[in-house]
Structure 1
Amino acid sequence: MKKLPSPCIDVCKFRREGHCIGCSMTKAQKKLFKSLKRPEHRAAFIDMLIHQQGDMGRYSHWAPAYLKKCAKKDVKAPPGLLPKGA
């Protein structure tokens, strides 16, 4: 099983109280994600990030960009990102 890629979508502008406007991660979260080696830990991190984005709002652009990144790297996207029924 291939590892999930970083949730970063190459925007990297930390304007929302230290959260990136592209992916919602803080610099500490980006560092933490890089340290996660097990696929289930990475998947749990992505799930946490989806909930964080939902709480913060204005991140509807992230999921399509991340799905595209996963497809490009030939990695199965986390279930929380897939459209219902996919």
Structure 2
Amino acid sequence: MDDPIRQAWAAAPSPCVDVCKYKRQGRCVGCSMTKLEKDTFPASGGAEAKRAFFEALLARLQAEHKNPAFWAIAYRRKCEREGVPCPLDLEDAG
């Protein structure tokens, strides 16, 4: 992981996309996280820990037969609103 990508992951905002409706086995319909995961994400460590969290979240979405592209679109918008580089875009470019 090169420096700009590492910095983007370190600064990555929570994967929460502000839907916050818990239906599927206690998971949010917007991001598929539990309340505990949402509460603990900011303290989930540095770049590597956050990247691993996102990878697990994407795998969960795929396992649940949800299209992760819908979440990714909402997350990219969130990063844009917050004025931070979206680590998903840097990963795609790298």
Give the shorter-chain TM-score range. Answer: 0.7 to 0.9
Task: Tell me the distance in 1 between the aligned counterparts of 2:65 and 2:86.
Answer: 21
Task: Tell me the distance in 1 between the aligned counterparts of 2:50 and 2:92.
Answer: 23
**Partner residue, 2:16:** 8
Task: Tell me the distance in 2 between the aligned counterparts of 1:66 and 1:30.
Answer: 14
Q: What's the Cα RMSD here?
A: 2.2
Code of the aligned partner of 1:65: A
**Partner residue, 1:45:** 53
Which 4+ runs in 1 deviate beyond 6 A? none
In the alignment, structure 2 segments of 5+ residues that lack a partner are 1-6
**Paired residues, number:** 83
Task: Tell me the distance in 1 between the aligned counterparts of 2:58 and 2:92.
Answer: 19
Offset of 1:24 from its aligned partner?
0.2
In the alignment, structure 1 segments of 5+ residues that lack a partner are none
With structure 1 as the length reference, what TM-score do the two structures score?
A: 0.78
**Partner residue, 2:76:** 67
Task: Tell me the distance in 2 between the aligned counterparts of 1:20 and 1:85.
Answer: 26
With structure 2 as the length reference, what TM-score do the two structures score?
A: 0.73
Structure with the higher helix share, 1 or 2: 2
Code of the aligned partner of 2:72: A
